[in-house]
């Protein structure tokens, strides 16, 4: 060898030593694999799937809502003449919120009052006539039919007065219906009318959030609702001020899944709400969901086949691999929790999956000659 080439060879050897030191033979499953002796045989790393208890420390984002909301509606038809409150205002029970134009109702009230005055005048005349007939019949100066006729007229007049009084009460009540009053104390959440708009009786025009208990409302994935916290306790903090905190319990889980987001609405009743947790405030809920048995695999095992998640299963007897679709319960920070598709004891490929094909013969990396079982993940983050 020429002395001129010796320094170059020495530098090459030194570089090879540095590469060997940087990538030792016992690198973890996610590192690059050494090449197989037979180029036609893929070299892979595997783990043995085992079921174990999985607990979930879930962090969710939601908002504060009232436990009870009330729809407010006028009790008669009419045109809105005045609106006295706005969205966000706090109102008290029986407070006037809006007013309809009362022209028709006032006219009906005036007619009812006039009808009552007329009926009372007729009653007064009937009483006088009856008293006269009563005196005359006692002295024998009138006939029995005349007396009976006066008595009947008195009863008819009294009934007319009673009817007029009832009509007057109805007219007064109808006039009161032109005022929209709050049935409870609370905060105006929304309104659906403007001044000058014609509304119908029973048409909801405002929504009130009643004073009292508050809920922290979250949209969570369906899988989490199947295993809620054992004591249903959720710790809630204000996103903008973590010092504002409250504790609550799951009090309601929606029976339906939102078709758009695939989530389920969960309401957490708060025991004591800090003043800073006003309606609509964004909050963060933390809870440890009950543990359950599940298979947990490293992220590197996940493959996509036929537009669905899958993993490669290793057959130790044949030395080949096959693809299998799986159901994902949720994704952790460095692993996946399976809902189905892999049974305990099966061997799953976790490295070298990029160029595999069904039925391909593979060789195990040296440290995978006896596959290590997977460890159950505790405290996985929520999706």
Sorted by sequence, the CB contacts under 8 Å of residue 206 that are 6+ apart come out as 71, 72, 97, 98, 180, 188, 190, 191, 192, 193
> Rounded to 10 degrees, what is the CA torsion of 374, 378, 382, 383?
0
Residues 181-210 have a mean pLDDT of 95
Dihedral Cα 336, 342, 344, 349, nearest 10 deg: -70
Mean pLDDT of 236-257: 92
CATH of segment(s) 102-177: 1.10.287
Task: Give the start-to-end residue ranges of the domains of the chain.
Answer: 43-55+293-364, 59-67+212-290, 70-100+178-211, 102-177
Lowest mean pLDDT among 185-189, 218-222, 322-326: 218-222
pLDDT grade for 2, boundaries at 50, 70 and 90: very low
Instruction: Give the tokens for residue 242.
Output: 């973590």
- How high is the pLDDT of residue 20? 35
Residue 372 bridge partners (DSSP): 47
Mean pLDDT across the chain: 84
Tens-place pLDDT, residues 346-356: 999 999 888 89
Architecture in CATH of 70-100+178-211: Beta Barrel (2.40)
Which residues does 380 contact at the CB level (< 8 Å), separation at least 6? Answer: 54, 55, 56, 57, 296, 330, 332, 333, 335, 337
Label residues 42-78 b or e (16+ Cβ within 10 Å = b). Answer: bbbbbbbbbbbebbbebebebebbbeeebebebebeb
CA–CA distance, 275 with 271 (Å, rounded to integer)? 13
Query: Global pTM?
Result: 0.59
Predicted confidence band of residue 4 (pLDDT cuts 50, 70, 90): very low
CATH of 59-67+212-290, one of 3.30.565.10, 3.40.1280.10, 2.60.120.10, 2.40.30.170: 2.40.30.170
Q: What pLDDT is attached to residue 172?
A: 96
SS3 assignment, position 112: helix
Residues 6+ apart with CB under 8 A from 17: none
Which one is the CATH code of 43-55+293-364: 3.90.380.10, 2.40.420.20, 3.40.190.10, 3.40.50.2300? 2.40.420.20
Q: State which of 97-106, 139-148, 325-334 shows the largest mean pLDDT.
A: 97-106
């Amino acid at each position: 060898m020429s002395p001129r080439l010796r320094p170059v060879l020495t530098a090459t050897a030194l570089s090879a030593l540095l590469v060997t030191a940087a990538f030792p033979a016992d690198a973890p499953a996610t590192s690059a694999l050494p090449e197989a002796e037979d180029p036609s045989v893929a070299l892979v790393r595997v783990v043995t799937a085992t079921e174990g208890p999985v607990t979930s420390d879930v962090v969710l984002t939601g908002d504060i809502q009232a436990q009870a909301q009330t729809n407010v509606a006028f009790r008669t038809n009419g045109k809105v003449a005045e609106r006295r409150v706005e969205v966000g205002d706090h109102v008290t029970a029986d407070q006037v919120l809006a007013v309809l134009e009362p022209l028709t109702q006032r006219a009906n009230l005036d007619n009812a009052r006039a009808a009552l005055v007329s009926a009372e005048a007729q009653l007064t005349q009937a009483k006088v006539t009856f008293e006269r007939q009563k005196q005359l019949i006692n002295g024998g100066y009138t006939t029995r039919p005349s007396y009976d006729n006066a008595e009947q007229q008195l009863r008819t007049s009294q009934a007319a007065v009673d009817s007029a009084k009832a009509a007057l009460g109805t007219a007064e009540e109808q006039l009161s219906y032109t005022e929209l009053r709050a049935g409870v104390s609370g905060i105006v959440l929304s309104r659906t009318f403007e001044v000058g708009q014609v509304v119908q009786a029973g048409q909801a025009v405002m929504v009130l959030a009643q004073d009292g208990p508050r809920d922290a409302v979250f949209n969570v994935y369906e899988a989490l609702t199947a295993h809620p916290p054992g004591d249903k306790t959720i710790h809630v903090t204000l996103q903008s001020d973590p010092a504002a905190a409250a504790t609550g319990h799951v009090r309601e889980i929606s029976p339906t899944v939102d078709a758009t987001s695939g989530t389920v609405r969960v309401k957490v009743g708060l025991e004591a709400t800090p003043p800073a947790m006003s309606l609509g405030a964004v909050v963060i809920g933390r809870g440890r969901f009950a543990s359950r048995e599940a298979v947990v695999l490293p992220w590197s095992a996940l493959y996509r086949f036929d537009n669905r998640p899958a993993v490669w299963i290793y057959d130790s007897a044949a030395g080949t691999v096959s693809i299998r679709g799986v159901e994902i319960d949720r994704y952790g920070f460095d692993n996946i929790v399976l809902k189905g598709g892999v049974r305990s004891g099966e061997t799953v490929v976790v490295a070298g999956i990029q160029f595999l094909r069904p039925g391909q013969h593979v060789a195990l990396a040296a440290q995978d000659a006896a596959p290590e079982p997977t460890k159950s993940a505790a405290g996985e983050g929520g999706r």
